[in-house]
Structure 1
Amino acid sequence: MRVLCLHGKGTSGRIFKSQTVSLRSKLEATTPNIEFDFVDGPLLSSPAPDTPLFYEPPHYAFYEGTDINAIRASHKWLQELLERDGPYDGVLTFSQGCALVSSYMLYQQWYEPEAQPYFQFAMFICGGIPITALKDLGVHVSQEVEDLDVMTKKQLLEKTTAEVTKDRWQLTDYASVVRRAQFDSDDCFGLNLNRIPAELKIRIPTVHVFGEKDPRLPASIQLAGLCDPYIRQVYNHGGGHEIPRAKEVSEELAQLLQWCAIRGSWPGQETTRHQ
């Protein structure tokens, strides 16, 4: 079993490999035939704000900014990688890696509805679909969604928590809103999931890992809402915009990734991957 691993903006495949040691070791203990392939993004980048100083350069990104041409160029890079180094059974992603893979899947489903997906399963950690890509695909994106996207990105750069996001809704039970927003909803943090066609819902088994203190939490939940709820798991690791490494959390994530991989190999699912 081969898993493609795509890092966040301003890090690298080497850093992502280091950040996932605990998760991978627990999964490899129960799935000895699994292989993780860590790849660097195609562009040099400044380090991410939360990248520890002991992670030396170079740092990479899959694209810069939010321009749709830059995002589509990253899709072309990913497709060439898959055609050259694939096939992969699944994909493990963090932050910008999530944005790249999820948007790539939606474009493939929209423009090539009969094509077979490149992955059987996916784990998304602290990441969402770029708003620019949703708009380019014809999804109605309200001004509220765009404003929230800008605000949470600013919070992330300033290393703040999701408290401002909570205050925006003036909620007494923020967790219940997060739960409701994961399903077909008129208000998934401002995004109307009921107005999005089925062709723009990811149809492979997925795991969505978010942190309740992550400013980008709404983006993670919106991505979960754009995936099939019957073959989807959602997990709150309790922290911020990070890859959790605590022993108990790593064990949970390993189990979730194993579930996702098993579900992706069920009869009917394994025939839907590019060979």
Structure 2
Amino acid sequence: MKHKAEKKLKVLCLHGYGYSGAYLKMRLQVWPSNVLQTMDFVFIDAPFPTHNKSFPAFSWFNSSPEDPGEYDRTFNESMALIEETMVKFGPFDGVLGFSQGAYIAAALPGMQAQGMALTKVEAIKFVVVISGGKLGGSKVPAPTLAKNAFTTLTEIPSLHCFGENDSFAKLPAIELLGSFVDPFVIFHSGGHEVPKLDEEGLKVMISFVNKIQATVSAHGLRSLL
């Protein structure tokens, strides 16, 4: 992994519930520098503040028994922000999400293919799903915009990272795998976190990045790894 890229892979990063873009940026530093250097990460904050007095914290969607429409309304506003960001700072090659942000990242290819989201930008070419699952699966219901996001298999390259001790996302993450064609999987021994890459995890990451580079070769990329 010593070669320079003519063009880095541009990736929009979506943080988890109760966190921020800055927090996710910090957590990704556990990955080796030669992996991080293959990508140009863009971090944004979700539009809805959460109650956290320790640090800035946000969410992408909320639900309330007192306001049945809150889930759709907040999800739709987040989708508008994501697309606005991609128009302004793009073009983007892919999307990475952690936890709540990973649920969105996983659904984006299907939503875009159906014309329900990201209609003003190029088709995303890959997704990275860290500790996330399927909107409309066993854990998180689907908002209206994403209700058909998984009616067909998603064929773009996908990397799925989840932990043996992740009580929140392990089962939803396994459930999600069936919605993707030939997903890359990093199954680690930790919990709800961005995992460090052990030898096996690094091999999977290298294979995934090489697959992405082949997918976006028309954009002037050559092999990095």
Please point out which of 149, 161, 185 is paired with 1:234: 185
1: distance between equivalents of 2:19 and 2:82? 17
The one-letter code sitting in structure 1 at the alignment partner of 2:155 is R
Corresponding residue number in structure 2 for 1:204: 156
CA distance change for structure 1 residues 14 and 60 in 2, over 3 Å: closer, same or farther? same
Shift of residue 244 of structure 1?
A: 1.3
TM-score, normalising length: structure 1: 0.62
1: distance between equivalents of 2:197 and 2:109? 31
Corresponding residue number in structure 1 for 2:50: 45
The one-letter code sitting in structure 2 at the alignment partner of 1:97 is G
Please state if 1:221 is matched with 2:225. no
Please state if 1:23 is matched with 2:31. yes
Please point out which of 181, 195, 208 is paired with 1:244: 195
Corresponding residue number in structure 2 for 1:14: 22
Corresponding residue number in structure 2 for 1:105: 109
CA distance change for structure 1 residues 59 and 252 in 2, over 3 Å: closer, same or farther? farther
Shift of residue 81 of structure 1?
A: 1.3
The one-letter code sitting in structure 1 at the alignment partner of 2:202 is E
Please point out which of 207, 210, 215 is paired with 1:264: 215
Please state if 1:70 is matched with 2:84. no
Which runs of structure 2 are paired with 1:148-167 in the superposition (5 Å)? none
CA distance change for structure 1 residues 28 and 94 in 2, over 3 Å: closer, same or farther? closer
CA contact (8 A) 1:24 1:254 kept: no
TM-score, normalising length: structure 2: 0.74
Over the aligned positions, Cα root-mean-square deviation in angstroms equals: 3.0
- Higher-Rg structure is 1
Which runs of structure 2 are paired with 1:51-130 in the superposition (5 Å)? 56-65=54-63, 67-111=71-115, 118-130=123-135
Corresponding residue number in structure 2 for 1:133: 142
Tell me the matched-pair count.
Answer: 198
Q: Secondary structure of 2:124's partner?
A: coil
The one-letter code sitting in structure 2 at the alignment partner of 1:41 is A
Identity score, percent: 27
CA contact (8 A) 1:6 1:92 kept: yes
